[in-house]
Amino acid sequence: MYSNTGYLHDADVEIEDTAHPLSIASCGVYRLMKQPVMPTLRPEGRRDYQLLYISAGRAFFHLEGRRQEIPAGYMVLYRPGESQQYYYYAKDTPEVYWVHFSGSEASYILDKIGFADTHTLFCGMSFHYPELFRQIILELQLKRPCFEELLCFYLQQVFTTIHRSQLEISADKYRNMEDMEAAVHFFNESFTTDISIEQYAGKQHMSVSWFIRSFKHYMGMTPMQYITSIRINKARELLKNTDYSIKEVSALSGYENPLYFSRIFHRQTGYSPSRYRQE
C-alpha cells in the first residue's frame, strides 16, 4: 500500500477546534496495490469532520444504513460522531485522498457547498483536487512559517471547487448524465482498443464538439484525457505488481507503440516506465 500523510501534531489526533473558522488536523492519500483489503471501522466516528475524495478506482462505504459502491470522482463526508465503516479492495485499484478538519464555520460551509442532506457528492475527475490535497499534506509535513493559514487556504479551495461543480451540475439539471455515464463505462471497458472519439460520438448520434464539451463539463477533462488517465493508471498498476516487460505493459495499457507509450507515461508521471518501476 502506498501512503503519504501529514499531521498537525505529528500523530493522528482528533481535534475539535471551535476557536477558528477552519482547522486541519491531518491529511493523506492511500493507494491500495497488493494488500487485498483495507477496512476502516469507527463505530463511534470521530470528533472532527472527514472528507474523502475517490480519485481512482472505487471504494465501498456503509452510508444511510446500506453498503454503497462509490466510484472515482465522488467526495464522501463524515460529520463528527457519525459511525464510519468503509473498505478499499486492491482489485479495484483505489486511490483515496482524505482530510480531517473542524472549525466554527465548518458546518455552514459544508451545507453551503452541497452536503446539507447527503454524505456523497459527484465532483468530477478533476486534477485540481489531488493537487490541493497534496499541498495540504506537504504543509502539514514541513510546517513552515504561516503553514496553518495556507492549510485553510488550500482547504477553502477544495470547498470552492466542490461548490462550483455542484452549481454547474445543477445548472443543466443532470440532463446529459446518462450519456456521459455510458461514455465513461465504454471507455473503461474498451481502453485497450483504438478508441476514436469521432466514431463514438457518431454512433451515439452526437456532434463531436458537443460530446467533448459535455464530457469535460461532467468529468472535468476531455474524453481523450480521461482515456489516457485510465491507460496510465493501468500501466502504473502493471509496473508495480507484475514482471511484464515494458512492451507487454504498453500493449496491455492500450498502446501498440512502446516508444509512444513511454513518452506519454513520462509526460503524465514525470518518470520513464522503467524508472517508475524502480522507484
Q: What is the 3-state secondary structure (H, E, C) of 175-213?
A: CCHHHHHHHHHHHHHHCCCCCCHHHHHHHCCCCHHHHHH
Q: Cell for 228?
A: 489516457
Span 153-159, mean pLDDT?
97
Q: Is the pLDDT of residue 32 over 90?
A: no
71-101 pLDDT per residue, tens: 888 999 999 999 999 999 988 889 999 999 9
Sheet holding 23-31, edge to edge: 2-7, 23-31, 95-102, 49-56, 74-78, 120-122
Q: Cell for 33?
A: 496495490
pLDDT at 175: 54
Q: Show Cβ contacts of residue 159 under 8 Å, excluding neighbours closer than 6 positions.
A: 109, 110, 113
Lowest mean pLDDT among 44-58, 95-109, 137-151, 175-189: 175-189
Q: Is the pLDDT of residue 1 over 80?
A: no
How far apart are alpha carbons 129 and 154 in whole angstroms? 10
Q: Is the pLDDT of residue 34 over 70?
A: yes
End-to-end CA distance of the chain: 14
233-249 pLDDT per residue, tens: 999 999 988 999 999 99
Residue 41 — pLDDT band, cuts 50, 70, 90? very high
pLDDT at 173: 45
Q: Is the pLDDT of residue 263 over 90?
A: yes
Looking at per-residue confidence, does 126 or 259 come out higher?
259
What domains are there in the chain, each with its CATH number?
2-171 (2.60.120.280), 177-278 (1.10.10.60)
How big is the CA angle at 197 (ends 196 and 202), to the nearest 5 degrees?
100
Q: Which of 99, 78, 121 shows the shortest CA–CA distance to 23? A: 99
Burial of 211 (0-12, 13-18, 19+ CB in 10 A): buried
Q: Is the pLDDT of residue 170 over 70?
A: no
How large is the angle between the packed helices 258-269 and 223-241, nearest 10 degrees?
100
Assess contact for 223 and 188: CB atoms under 8 A: no
Q: Is the pLDDT of residue 202 over 70?
A: yes
Prediction pTM value = 0.68
